[in-house]
A and B are shown apart, each in its own frame.
Chain A
Amino acid sequence: KQEVTQIPAALSVPEGENLVLNCSFTDSAIYNLQWFRQDPGKGLTSLLLIQSSQREQTSGRLNASLDKSSGRSTLYIAASQPGDSATYLCAVRQDTGRRALTFGSGTRLQVQP
């Protein structure tokens, strides 16, 4: 059974810092990995989708990397802003069997102005 772990569970940084969020998964037979953002009381917004054949994806100040063989992904946020404060969730989709996403428990990020 796939398990997804995110470290740290919570992070507080001053505005302007570059930061890295970590995600690890136990079964490397994944089809893709998706990073989401969730604001309090709101739904999930997809940030980046990395196919298993890719090493990284970039969108603006966000860069996500994937090392499938070691079961790891990182989300890099450059020049953090208070508006980046949210919970960031990592989710993987298996190569076979269930096609839905398995989620990590998230990293709650607070960017201090």
Chain B
Amino acid sequence: DARVTQTPRHKVTEMGQEVTMRCQPILGHNTVFWYRQTMMQGLELLAYFRNRAPLDDSGMPKDRFSAEMPDATLATLKIQPSEPRDSAVYFCASGLVLGQAYEQYFGPGTRLTVT
């Protein structure tokens, strides 16, 4: 049963600390997305990758957020320095793009609390 995995599931940290979230996409999927969910804003796209190359990171605050795919089995989202307003659930999703058609599969999320 292939699924997207994310670690950690929960993270509590103090303001100013670095936070790294990790995602393992479904094997064989070539597109990875990072979303953020808050009560106020709902689900928002932060960044996405195709074949490990960043295609769009316009949803991400550039000064403190960075997203990378060191290899095809790992995507990371880093926040440095973290702020209380970054508290949210961060979801990773993956999909296999064939032409135009694909479906996105979501991981369980990382619940981040910055105090």
Contact = CB atoms under 8 A, between A and B. Distances in A.
A51 B103 contact: no
A105 to B, nearest CB: 5
Contacts of A91: 43
A113 interface: no
Contacts, number: 47
Interface SS, B side: strand
Contact of A43 (B48, B58, B109): B109
Size bin of chain B's contact surface: 20 to 34
Interface stretch (A12-20, A60-68, A69-77, A95-103): A95-103
B70 interface: no
Contact of A100 (B48, B100, B107, B111): B48
B114 interface: no
A113 B93 CA distance: 33
A31 B104 CA distance: 13
A57 B107 CA distance: 24
Interface of B: 31, 33, 42-45, 48, 55-56, 58, 91, 93, 100-101, 103-109, 111
Interface of A: 31-32, 34, 36, 41-46, 49, 51, 89, 91, 98-106
